[in-house]
Structure 1
Amino acid sequence: MLKFLKSSLVFGLLFSSFTAQAELPSYYKVVLLTENFPPFNMAVDDKNFARDDGIDGISTEIVREMFKRAGIGYTLSLRFPWDRLYKLTLDKPSYGLFSTTRTPEREPLFKWVGPLAKTGWVLLSAPGNNISVASLEEAGKYQIGAYKNDAVSQHLESQGLKPTNALRDQENIKKLLSGKIDLWATTDPVGRYLAKQEGVTGLNTVLRFNDAELYLAMNKDTPDEVVQRLQKALDELRAEGFVDEMTNNYL
């Protein structure tokens, strides 16, 4: 009788383990979206559309390995603009978006996996422009350019500022150099990386006003099992040194 009970218990544990795994169908796939946000995610050919192996960057390498280790299928595409990708991920089940800054305003809108990387938010001025401000409140008297629906722009708006939002962050480089904006609100090191691609160096950091972390943002209807498996895979990769290795490869 005791032997029978032990056998039943083992069978029950195996069955419950099997059903837990079976909750996620083998055909399940996450639709991953990203944008040109170097050096974290970017098209190999610098264009505004790419798929799969045509995309690289720190976050891209980490996300690929994360999904592989978690055993979860996905499709990956890089598109434009960010505003559209953000809204698609909000609206469509099984969609995910990276690299997304996790903020208090966004917290309830998604399920989160991360962090993938750390960044800072800065106000930059053109070479030779010696604007000096000690706070965002002081910066409000200047014309500030930002990236539409980006976390930096959303934060400025939440503080009562009214940035001029562009659909491409690169547009702000030209506006800054031409004097159409006084300050460029962007992410560090992304802003400097973009500027260097445009042949622009010597930008001045006027104010660093926040430190932030980048995540994979998942639609709220994503099964919890998916989020948990991805987070577990990421935690393992970080412990093994993979995340640091990818970051050092690009920076």
Structure 2
Amino acid sequence: MKNVFRTWSGAAPRALLMVCVLGLSMARAQTLQVVTESTPYSYLKGDRVAGTATEVVRKTLQTAGLSNFQIRIYPWARAYDMALNEPDVLIYLIARTPTRESKFKWVGEIMKIQYHLYRLRERTDVAVKTLVDAQKYTIGVMRDDVRQQYLQSKGFKRLVVSAQAIDNFKKLIGHQVDLIPLVEDDTTIFCAQVHFDCSALTRVLTLEEASTGLYMAFSSSTADETVQKTRAAFDKLKADGTVRKIMQEKP
């Protein structure tokens, strides 16, 4: 019994050490979740997430030496919730606003955008010259998107919320809402997707205060080392013109 006890006594610490080392290795190897929504700059092509912004993110992570990642497209509200509450999540393209500043670890600005309110050309009854004018009409927005947050902050009450940006567009052309806020590039993409003539749209107002930069950002519980590596890689790619070159590529 004494010999058996002595053998177990020596083996137990070694086994415990192996478990600890294995646990640490698994933690280091944890897959980084990269999340986004479907946009002209991030979309599914076959079974792979493509788009210019996606390629910027992929190139940045590879340059940072972070090869263990998976890119997935979700409705924006789900992607945002994951980045808000889970560790090791990278989200893009996310607007950097004062209310979001402390909720994420920001990496870098991929692009700048400007939002405009659009109506159907035939809807001459929708007369908008100022932001106050727009409050009289129903406006389609996406859940937890910066446009919803901006309009709510301005006292807008007649917001119709959808999970996907394309759903907003369909509601506009289906006369379910009067206006929707869009980036100009989005109109071309959405018109093509639903086979709609873009000349039937009219831009009525630019949302100057809501226009902003779109970033990649980590969830707040992501390790600082990961964030710093990614930020340094992005800064390098932006400085040498790689980011600009990728974003100028045609889909």
Q: Unpaired segments of 5 or more residues in structure 2?
A: 1-26
User: 2:228 matched to which residue of 1?
Assistant: 228
Query: How many residues are treated as equivalent by the alignment?
Result: 219
Q: Secondary structure at the match of 2:114?
A: strand
| Contact 1:36 1:78 survives alignment (8 Å) | no
Specify the code of the residue in structure 1 equivalent to 2:35: L
- Counterpart in the other structure of 1:41: 42
The amino acid that maps onto 2:38 is N
Please say which structure displays the higher CA radius of gyration: 2
1:69 aligned partner: 63
Residue 248 of structure 2 aligns to a residue whose secondary structure is: helix
Structure 2 match to 1:83: 77
Distance 2:173 2:31 in 1: 44
State which of 131, 141, 145 in structure 1 corresponds to 2:140. Answer: 145
Q: Give the aligned partner of residue 243 of structure 1.
A: 243
Cα shift at 1:189 = 2.2
Instruction: Name the CA distance, whole Å, in 2 between partners of 1:31 and 1:74.
Output: 9
1:176 is matched with which residue: 172, 186, 192? Answer: 172
Report the RMSD for the aligned CA atoms in angstroms. Answer: 1.9
Per-residue deviation, 1:196: 2.6
State the match for 2:49 in structure 1: 55
Residue 204 of structure 1 corresponds to 202
TM-score of the aligned structures, taking structure 1 as reference length: 0.81
Which deviates further from its counterpart, 63-72 or 241-250? 241-250
Shift of residue 63 of structure 1? Answer: 0.5
Partners of 2:68 and 2:212 in 1: CA distance: 26
Q: Work out the CA distance in 2 between the residues paired with 1:70 and 1:137.
A: 46
Looking at structure 2, the residues matched to 78 and 26 of structure 1 have their Cα atoms a distance apart, in angstroms, of 21
TM-score w.r.t. length of structure 2: 0.81
Partner of residue 9, structure 1: none
1:126-145 → structure 2 map (5 Å cutoff): 126-130=120-124, 131-145=126-140
Which residue is 1:96 aligned to?
90
Unaligned runs of 5+ in 1: 1-24
Conserved? CA contact 1:125–1:184, under 8 Å: yes
**Matches of 1:231 and 1:134, distance apart in 2:** 41
State the secondary structure of the residue aligned to 2:249.
helix
* 2:163 aligns with one of 164, 167, 172: 167
